[in-house]
Amino acid sequence: MGHNLLKGKKGIIFGALNSNSIAWKTAERCHEEGAQFVLTNAPIAMRMGEINELAEKTKSPIIPADATSMDDLKALFEGSMEKLGGKIDFVLHSIGMSPNVRKSREYTDLNYEYFHKTLDVSGLSLHRTLQTAYKLDALNDWASVVALSYIAAQRTFPDYSDMAEAKSLLESIARSFGYHYGKKKKVRINTISQSPTQTTAGSGVGGFDSFVKYADDMSPLGNASALDCANYTVSLFSDLTRYVTMQNLFHDGGFSNVGISRDVMQKFMK
Ligand SMILES: NC(=O)c1ccc[n+]([C@@H]2O[C@H](COP(=O)([O-])OP(=O)(O)OC[C@H]3O[C@@H](n4cnc5c(N)ncnc54)[C@H](O)[C@@H]3O)[C@@H](O)[C@H]2O)c1
């Protein structure tokens, strides 16, 4: 049920691959809250055509864009302003991919071409997106940008591999660009550090199922779902959170502040 929290707002949503995607749930919730938006993803990710279903449901145009291509991003922002009839109020960056993780390379045996790709797709793409918007003056005053992160940016999770570095970069870009865009146009930029979630990107990480269970047992509220992440994102796109910027916001049921939980301790008791 919607509350018109985003009524009249125009957005761009990156990363809805299938109905499990965090971006997919966010698009559904933004639609329910009265927003209009463009859906985008890498052209290769659209070949299964699932995004058409979401576009129909949310009455959204689709503009393909590889988030590592400055030409694609420029065309995306220009096309979005044209299709939506004005500047943009919110952007969701829900993009992640590591060729090293995909090919199960050990952290001590990384391929550096892949590593560059990981950083470009999963980290620098946020800077590319923001710089494109900045130069085109494509965002309205008080616009809100959210990118999705993971706690491996702060703590080591061995199978998260080079995505940990990408997430540190992503969070740092949110802070640095948050300063410049905040000064220029009051644009706010935050990252949400989400619980492990059953999606295509998530399941690529080694031992993901046990990882999800462990995080669930460690979190007093349990793992946050993709739908709850979408709800949190809607609140950050809304006018109710106008002074939140340059933050990494944990959305993890309390996981990040727990040292040990009784549920996990019990597993070691004889
Ligand atoms: N699933 C989790 O456990 C989890 C936890 C914390 C954070 N996150 C983050 O949430 C975000 C969304 O991931 P998800 O879990 O919904 O998985 P997902 O696989 O559904 O989404 C990842 C998206 O990134 C897109 N993408 C990859 N390369 C791209 C490129 N070059 N240009 C544009 N788009 C590109 C994919 O097409 C896909 O739509 C990612 O940043 C991910 O790291 C996920």
Atom of ligand 1 nearest to the CA of 226: 16
Could you give the CA distance from residue 94 to residue 97 in angstroms, rounded to a whole number?
10
Q: Is 21 in the pocket of ligand 1 (CB under 6 A)?
A: yes
Q: What is the pLDDT of residue 49?
A: 82
What is the per-residue pLDDT for 169?
Answer: 99
**Cβ(12) – ligand 1 distance below 6 Å:** no
Q: Is the pLDDT of residue 209 over 80?
A: yes
230 phi/psi in degrees, rounded to 5: -60, -45
- Residue 206 is predicted with a pLDDT of 80
Distance separating alpha carbons of residues 198 and 225, to the nearest angstrom: 9
- Asked if the model's pLDDT at residue 207 lies above 90, the reply is no
Long-range CB contacts for residues 137-140, cutoff 8 Å, separation at least 24: 137/87, 138/77, 138/78, 138/80, 138/81, 138/87, 138/88, 139/87, 139/88, 139/89, 139/91, 139/181, 139/185, 139/187, 140/86, 140/87, 140/88, 140/89, 140/185
* Residues 106, 81: Cα–Cα separation, whole Å: 43
The pair phi, psi for residue 144, each rounded to 5°, is: -130, 130
- Distance between CA atoms of 162 and 104, rounded to whole angstroms? 11
> Domains of the chain: which residue ranges?
10-266
Nearest CA to ligand 1 atom 24: 95
DSSP 8-state secondary structure symbol assigned to residue 224? P
Give residue for tokens 């003056």: 137
Is the Cβ atom of 22 under 6 angstroms away from ligand 1?
Answer: yes
> Per-residue confidence at 205, pLDDT binned at 50, 70, 90?
confident
Distance 264 CA to ligand 1 centre (A): 29
Distance 268 CA to ligand 1 centre (A): 34
- Which residues lie below 8 Å from residue 66, measured CB to CB, with a gap of 6+? 42, 43, 72
Domain 10-266 - what CATH class? alpha beta
Q: Is the CB of 39 under 6 A from ligand 1?
A: no
Question: What is the C-alpha separation between 211 and 67, in angstroms, rounded?
Answer: 28
End-to-end alpha carbon distance in the chain: 48
C-alpha to C-alpha distance for 205 and 211, rounded to whole angstroms: 9
Ligand 1 neighbour 45 (Cβ under 6 A): yes
**Does ligand 1 lie within 6 Å of residue 41's CB atom?**
yes
How far is it, in rounded angstroms, from Cα 138 to Cα 72? 15
Helix (H, G, I), strand (E, B) or coil at 144: strand
Q: Is 194 in the pocket of ligand 1 (CB under 6 A)?
A: yes
Residue 270 clears pLDDT 90, i.e. is over it: no
Q: What does the pLDDT look like over 45-54, one tens digit per residue?
A: 998 889 999 9
